[in-house]
Amino acid sequence: MIPAHWAAQGTAIPLTWNILQDVRQLFEFHFMVNAFRAGTVVAVAAGLLGWFMVLRAQSFAGHTLAVAGFPGAAGATLAGLNPAWGFFAFCGAGAAIIAAVPRARAGTQGAGFSEESAAIGTVQAVALALGFLFVSLYHGFLNGINALLFGTFLGITDAQVGVLVAVAAVIVLALAIGGRQLLFASVDPDVAEARGVPVTTLGVAFLLLLGFAAAEASQITGSLLVFALLVIPAATAQRLTARPAASIALSVVIAVAVTWLGLAAAYYSSYPIGFSVTTFGFAAYTLAQIATHRAGGRQA
Amino acid sequence: MNLRSVAADPTAATAASTAELVDATASLGGRTVWSGVNLTVEPGEFVAVIGPNGAGKSTLVKVLLGLLPLAGGEATVLGRPPGEASDRIGYLPQRRSFDPGLRVRGIDVVRLGLDGDRWGVPLPGLGRMRRRQEDDRRVDEVLGLVGATNYAQRPVGRVSGGEQQRLLIAQALVRRPALMLLDEPLDSLDLPNQAAVAALISDICRDQGVTVMLVAHDVNPILSYIDRVVYVAGGRAVSGTPHEVVRSDTLSRLYGTPIEVLTTSDGRLVIVGHPEAPARNCDRHLQHD
């Protein structure tokens, strides 16, 4: 699927001044079409879940879920399975473990000192160590470790795209049904609970969905760079507007945009996908900071 | 002296009372917080729940909300067991201010009080537009009522403590509740804001016909507005008019230690010698056990 000259040199597709030509060239190969399909799906899921993660100040949990995918993918490779299954299995398991630790309510304790963060840190260390073990056991796999940690967009099959679409559909559907209650439970848990909103159940369900979103994003950005899609678009969107609906939509748009730009940049340059996606995200975030700082009082 | 509800004949309470406790006992983690509490709150009353930290004021609120089952006795809220009428109760929890980084507007927090427990996303069309317009109108209405219209569009973490309290009162009020349970809404406000928010709550109670139970440390900011006081201390509770309850003999009996209540020239009540200090901040710990 991947053209030999391209894979061998890792670059050398010339960028012209003819944008139409460039875009046509971008979709010339099926592997690249699949990369765009997968990237778009992943960006939508990450933009949505990431928005709630940033709102709930659960970035550390999100990061740990993503790191948990690394031993999953490494272990799956070791066992001769598709790494995607390892990502999903371990991210899901990590979410279940973190959900089992009682979460301190926002505002009642300093988040940095809660039991949750210590437990999450422990999970993260064990996950990384386990991943390193699997990589060591699988001799000759050391080239693949970069892809698992820092992302790749090569060799995504039609079947993989199908799985990503299915999982993303579950995420979108779940949020369409319970998103408003999740927002209530995130912003105002005490009042939500008194109103009969299942605050604890929603918290657990959210972590599981976050695990799946992290597993999806990991397959493009790698385990260590999921925040490029999970945090940066959401943080940028929340910086730009405090209207929830607009903010969520913006988060998704930014996630998709940086993914497309990142894929194009990686295709036309020799720089890896994890770097290019993160860089475009960082640029958006920086611009948003500057714009809102200069706008001063404009908050809504 | 004959106190109205403690040890009064519980059968005398009419079925129409807004909230009622009969010989109620509450415990948290195996420890009895209070016991033998009888309480009747009539419709339209403004009732203050006063007492030292850790006495179980918030526990009383949680019992009425149905979040904490009674260890003994009976509770009725709006004619039903606690928790079954939660959609007719406006609740303002003890807190806590919003995180300054929370990027959600005040108006969104108020709106969540109206529709935050609904499933599904608000999509245009399909006959939902009319409901949304009604919701928008109601949110604007309560924002005007509490005087929060001017800052409702700002992120809620960025407005002052007094402004946040007004938004939260609007949130509690937005569904036209029959009963509002306000847990320390005056806490952490400066004195002018305490007076302003107390006056606002009183106005809402009278004009909207809402029964209000307000938890406070200090009876003074609300003294001129309230119909009754529930004083929670020493594992028990006493209720009556402020001048029946907040006096030396009643409080001394409640605490089991001599307490003196002095009245200043401007009518404020000063409680001397109540053993609050050792129990400081227990309330907060209990809440999140």
What does residue B180 show for φ and ψ, rounded to 5 degrees? -115, 125
pLDDT at A177 exceeding the cut of 60? yes
Query: How close A243 comes to chain B (CA, Å)?
Result: 6
User: Nearest by CB to A176, which of B91, B112, B120?
Assistant: B120
Question: Domain A18-295 has what CATH class?
Answer: mainly alpha
Strongest mean pLDDT among A106-115, A237-246, B94-103: A237-246
pLDDT higher than 80, residue B167: yes
Contact B233, B252 (CB under 8 A): no
Does residue B287 have a pLDDT over 60?
A: no
Confidence band of B257 (pLDDT split at 50, 70, 90): confident
Helix, strand, coil percentages (3-state) for chain B, rounded to 5, are 35, 25, 40
Instruction: Give pTM, 2 decimals.
Output: 0.85
Tell me which residues of chain B have a C-beta less than 8 Å from any C-beta of chain A.
65, 67, 83, 86-87, 89, 91-93, 95-99, 102-105, 108-109, 112-113, 115-122, 153-155, 158, 171-172, 284, 287-288
CB contact under 8 A, B116 and A178: no
- Picking from A55, A184, A242, the nearest residue to B116 by CB comes out as A184
pLDDT interval class at A283 (50, 70, 90): very high
The pLDDT assigned to B146 comes to: 92
- Terminal-to-terminal C-alpha distance of chain B: 38
What residues does each domain of chain B span? 1-85+178-289, 98-175
Question: What's the pLDDT score for residue B259?
Answer: 82
Contacts of B154 in chain A (CB under 8 A): 242, 299-300
- The whole-angstrom distance between A16's CA and the closest CA on chain B is 42
Q: How confident is the model at residue B104 (pLDDT cuts 50, 70, 90)?
A: very high
Q: Nearest CA to CA, how far is B105 from chain A (Å)?
A: 6
Q: What is the DSSP letter of B69?
A: -
By mean pLDDT, which of A73-87, A139-153, A199-213, B118-132 is the weakest?
B118-132
CA-CA-CA-CA dihedral for B136, B137, B142, B146, to nearest 10: 100
ipTM over 0.95: no
With cut-offs at 50, 70 and 90, classify the pLDDT of residue A140.
low
Q: Which residue of B has its CA nearest to A182?
A: B116
What is the rounded CA–CA span in Å between residue B34 and residue B68? 13
Q: Is the pLDDT of residue B268 over 50?
A: yes
How does residue B123 score in pLDDT terms, banded at 50, 70 and 90? low
Chain B residues in contact with A57 by the CB 8 A cut-off are 99
Nearest CA to CA, how far is A225 from chain B (Å)? 24
Average pLDDT over residues A119-123: 89
Rounded to the nearest angstrom, the minimum Cα separation between B13 and chain A is 26
pLDDT class of A247 with cuts at 50, 70, 90: very high
Q: Is the CB of residue A288 less than 8 Å from the CB of residue A239?
A: yes
Is A187 within 8 Å of B92 when comparing Cβ atoms?
no
| Residues of chain A contacting residue B120, judged by C-beta atoms under 8 Å apart | 176-177, 180
Closest-CA residue of chain A to B285: A108
Residue B276 has a pLDDT of 53
Element (H, E) at B25: strand B19-28
Question: Residue A103's pLDDT band (boundaries 50, 70, 90)?
Answer: low
Candidates B249, B185, B243; CA nearest to B212 is B185
Predicted confidence at residue A299, as pLDDT, reads 46
pLDDT surpasses 50 at A300 = no
- pLDDT attached to residue A294: 75
Q: What per-residue confidence (pLDDT) applies to A104?
A: 53
Answer whether A195 sits within 8 Å of B116, measured CB to CB.
yes
Q: How confident is the model at residue B94 (pLDDT cuts 50, 70, 90)?
A: confident
Task: Give the pLDDT band (50/70/90) at residue A296.
Answer: low
* Cβ <8 Å between B98 and A107: yes
pLDDT reported for residue B51: 86
pLDDT of residue B98: 87
**Chain B residue nearest residue A234, CA to CA:** B103
Q: Average the pLDDT over A148-154 and give the result.
A: 85
> How confident is the model at residue B131, as a pLDDT?
81
The least confident of A221-225, B92-96, B99-103, B185-189 is B92-96
Reported as a single tens digit per residue, the pLDDT across A31-47 is 999 999 999 999 999 99
CATH code for the domain defined by B1-85+178-289: 3.40.50.300
The rounded mean pLDDT for chain B is 84
Closest residue, chain A, to B84 (C-alpha) = A196
Domains of chain A: which residue ranges?
Answer: 18-295
Per-residue model confidence (pLDDT) at position B182: 95
Counting residues of chain B whose pLDDT is more than 70, the rounded percentage is 86
Tell if the CB–CB gap between B108 and A244 is shorter than 8 Å: yes
Rounded average pLDDT over A120-131: 92
Q: CA A124, CA A130: separation in Å to the nearest integer? A: 10
Tokens of A300: 């809504």
Q: Which residue has the higher pLDDT, A244 or B244?
A: A244
Judging contacts by C-beta atoms under 8 Å, the chain A residues touching residue B112 are 180, 183-184, 187-188, 191-192
Nearest to A194 among B67, B120, B121 (CB): B67
Q: What mean pLDDT comes out for the span A59-83?
A: 91
Name chain A contacts of B86, Cβ cutoff 8 Å: 194-196
- Cα distance from B83 to chain A (closest Cα, Å)? 8
Give the pLDDT of residue A93.
92
Interface touch B86/A242, C-beta < 8 Å: no
User: Cβ–Cβ of B91/A192 closer than 8 Å?
Assistant: no
Chain A residues with CB-CB distance to B285 below 8 A:
none
